[in-house]
């Protein structure tokens, strides 16, 4: 990451934690004040132009005692970048508020022939486009409006899971994918013949033990039922 971006992030945190400029404070600046302040500091970073200081001050939207340009032009750039970041965050919150304040929409019915892709608005279209006959199965669903935050409800869990997979290394990640996408027959085809033969022999022995156990159970049942049956005759 660029050193300038890191310094701008540090300045942004200073504005929040040191100066106490919270999101609630920033949300009141709906007339571009944060952008104007950023422009002022960006102009103050220009140390070669004439009349730059007066131009910078003319853009400053707040009280004069809040205007604190630095003699280091890089410091002024950091302040400008941090203020632009604050405006970016404010715009994001404003958009989210607008989306969440929208009136609830009436769910629309949609149709699918395979319960996966619901791309038909009309049942008749499903039937005609897929040449469905009487007795065929179709699936009905409803649409739902989502706001951006609903797409990131489980983002932390997803990131942690991804990090765990990567931490296990390429071998484990490859093994996971292979296990899910390849059949037992394909896996056996790549094993050494002697290993496969040993595995088959062990499997046959296990099946034989299961069959013998079933036969013993049947024999014990018959042995128990025989005296009862003779006594009843």
Q: Which of 54, 71, 4, 66 is nearest to 29 (CA)?
A: 66
What span, in angstroms and rounded, lies between the C-alpha atoms of 177 and 171?
Answer: 10
Q: Which two tokens stand for residue 154?
A: 């489980």
The residue out of 69, 100, 131 marking a domain boundary is: 100
Q: Which two tokens stand for residue 113?
A: 């022939």
Q: Are residues 22 and 92 in the same domain?
A: yes
Query: Does residue 172 sit within a domain?
Result: yes
What span, in angstroms and rounded, lies between the C-alpha atoms of 172 and 96?
Answer: 40
The pLDDT of residue 178 is 41
Q: Are residues 123 and 159 in the same domain?
A: no
The pLDDT of residue 184 is 52
The pLDDT of residue 188 is 57
The pLDDT of residue 219 is 65
What span, in angstroms and rounded, lies between the C-alpha atoms of 213 and 219?
Answer: 10
Q: Are residues 57 and 19 in the same domain?
A: yes
Query: Does residue 216 sit within a domain?
Result: yes
State the DSSP code for 156.
Answer: H
Q: Are residues 62 and 8 in the same domain?
A: yes
Q: Are residues 117 and 65 in the same domain?
A: no
Task: Tell me how many domains the chain contains.
Answer: 4
Query: Does residue 26 sit within a domain?
Result: yes
Using 50 as the pLDDT threshold, list the residues of the chain that sit under it.
152-153, 155-156, 171-182, 226, 228-230, 232-233
- State the angle between helix axes of 169-181 and 155-167 in degrees (0 to 180), rounded to the nearest 10: 110
Q: Which residue range is the domain that position 136 belongs to?
A: 109-149
The residue out of 100, 117, 133 marking a domain boundary is: 100
The pLDDT of residue 171 is 47
What span, in angstroms and rounded, lies between the C-alpha atoms of 34 and 26?
Answer: 8
What span, in angstroms and rounded, lies between the C-alpha atoms of 44 and 97?
Answer: 34
The pLDDT of residue 32 is 92
């Amino acid at each position: 990451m660029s050193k300038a971006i890191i310094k701008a992030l540090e300045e942004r945190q200073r504005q929040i934690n040191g100066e106490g400029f919270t999101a609630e404070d920033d949300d009141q600046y709906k007339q571009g004040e944060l952008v104007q302040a950023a422009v002022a500091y960006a102009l103050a970073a220009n140390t070669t132009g004439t009349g730059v200081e007066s131009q910078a001050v003319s853009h400053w939207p707040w009280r004069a005692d809040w205007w604190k340009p630095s003699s280091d032009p890089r410091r002024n750039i950091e302040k400008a970048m941090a203020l632009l970041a604050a405006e970016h965050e404010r715009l994001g919150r404003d958009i989210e508020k607008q989306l969440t304040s929208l009136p609830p929409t009436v769910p629309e019915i949609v149709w699918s022939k395979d319960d996966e892709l619901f791309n038909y608005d009309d049942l008749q279209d499903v039937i005609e486009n897929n040449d469905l006959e009487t007795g065929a199965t179709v699936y009905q669903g409803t649409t739902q409006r989502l706001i951006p935050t609903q797409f990131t409800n489980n983002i932390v869990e997803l990131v942690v899971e991804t990090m765990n997979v990567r931490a296990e290394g390429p071998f484990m990640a490859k093994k996971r994918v292979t296990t899910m996408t390849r059949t037992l027959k394909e896996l056996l085809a790549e094993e050494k013949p002697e290993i496969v033969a040993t595995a088959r022999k062990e499997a046959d022995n296990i099946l034989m033990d299961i069959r013998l156990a079933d036969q013993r159970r049947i024999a014990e049942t018959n042995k128990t039922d025989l005296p009862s049956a003779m006594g009843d005759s």
